[in-house]
Amino acid sequence: MTESRWLRIGLWAATLAVLAFVYLPLVVIAIYAFNASDIQSWPIPGVSLRWFERALADGAVRQAFLNSVIAATAATSIALVLGTLAAFAVQRFRFFGREIISFVVILPIALPGVVTGVALSATFTTLGIGFGMVTIVIGHATFCVVIAYNNVIARLRRTSRSLEEASMDLGADTWQTFRHVFLPSMRGALLSGGLLAFALSFDEVIVTNFTAGAGVDTVPLWVLSAIQRPNALPVVNVVAVALILLSVIPVYIAQRIGGRAAR
């Protein structure tokens, strides 16, 4: 099947139009971050860096970033361990309920976020668990498990057991095989799974809004409340730019992992 010249031109035009649509809001917000005025109107009257200074000095913003990093690190660690264990069991064993496990693992991201949020909130309230960092981490870890699980199981499907069997035949026990054969072959999957889980946790707001309580703000929670205060908007713009720039990191690392795997 060959695409005619005109079809190709049309496809490229549509591609560029969609990309313009995708990047327009991000560019607009980046420009607003340099707004000299504290009123959001377009076009901006002048350029200034004062909101960057203001944002850097803002204690609440810094605390929110710190909280987000802590929550994402804890949730990712839990998710990597649980996801890897589950993936290993489902891929390497045949047992009753195997299909159910692969279904239950994806449920937390397949079910609407508001349901997960209400369910966790109702449970914490019922059990008398106080809302805070721990409840945030529990929520995040639950929907991050599927990310780790998917990455590891995809890798497991492509690696044969023969390497592990060879290692065992040469006298290595389960632990040695795990450390010297299994872990190195899983490194890419664990890294990209961990990265994705971290990013997902860092960005999550729909469930977090239910599980955070009043005391602890993550970055998205801070943004959500700041959006509703007009005088906080200039600082929100700067935080938005920071978040857009931060999103380059996972894409860059994922690209490098992918590139190495392909070679």
- Give the nearer residue to another protein in terms of CB position, either 160 or 175: 175
- Give the nearer residue to another protein in terms of CB position, either 12 or 53: 12
Nearest alpha-carbon partner for 243 in 104, 41, 64: 64
Which residue, chain included where needed, has tokens 């994922």?
254
Using an 8 Å Cβ cutoff, are 196 and 109 in contact?
A: no
Nearest approach, Cβ of residue 214 and another protein (Å): 14
- Give the nearer residue to another protein in terms of CB position, either 109 or 191: 109
Nearest approach, Cβ of residue 19 and another protein (Å): 6
How far does CA 7 lie from the centroid of its chain? 37
* Rounded Cα gap, residues 246 and 261, in angstroms: 24
Nearest approach, Cβ of residue 57 and another protein (Å): 21
Classify burial at 147, counting beta carbons within 10 Å of its beta carbon; exposed 0-12, middle 13-18, buried 19 or more.
buried
- Give the nearer residue to another protein in terms of CB position, either 73 or 85: 85
* Rounded Cα gap, residues 183 and 172, in angstroms: 14
Nearest approach, Cβ of residue 216 and another protein (Å): 17
